[in-house]
Amino acid sequence: MSNNSALVRVDFNVPMDKGTSAGSDGFLPASAITDDGRIRAALPTIKKLLDDGFRVVLVAHLGRPKGESSSSLSLKPIADRLSELLGESIAFIPLRQIKASNGSLFSALGNARVGLVENIRFDSRETSKSDEERLDLA
């Protein structure tokens, strides 16, 4: 198969060492992850999709940011660790890029085969009680 795309919700809610200093980019380094077991658990699914010719966009959350962005709850260090484990680059996709793409999420991958969307809980619609808001996010 080729030209196929998969959107996969993964559990990357991993423990982070909040005492780790942010890097020059403002994000925690991958070394702040104290247990990458949940990331490793997703690898067989991701590898299978890649082997079958899919481009993969991953969606996850970390913590409970209540719709507010926070560099300490960013998935950037998880994208970096996933890149190390997969041995290939991961497109880190900010939420603003998704909103600007008018639903063309996979265009945000660029040349990468795998992308990780920024913490979906930074968007208040993720945990909204409103069916309309949740549907708008979907």
The pLDDT score that the predictor gives to residue 30 is 83
With beta carbons less than 8 A apart as the criterion, state whether 29 and 84 touch.
no
Q: What confidence tens digit (pLDDT) does each residue in 97-119 have?
A: 665 555 567 777 888 999 998 88
Q: How does the average pLDDT of the chain come out, rounded?
A: 81
pLDDT at 124 exceeding the cut of 90: no
For the structural domain made of 4-137, what CATH number should be given? Answer: 3.40.50.1260
Supply the pLDDT for residue 121.
74
Write down the pLDDT at residue 138: 46
Q: What is the DSSP letter of 18?
A: T
pLDDT-above-90 percentage for the chain: 42
Question: Which of 29-33, 39-43, 79-83 has the lowest average pLDDT?
Answer: 29-33
Q: In what order do the strands lie in the sheet with 90-93?
A: 4-9, 54-59, 114-117, 90-93
What is the reported pTM?
0.81
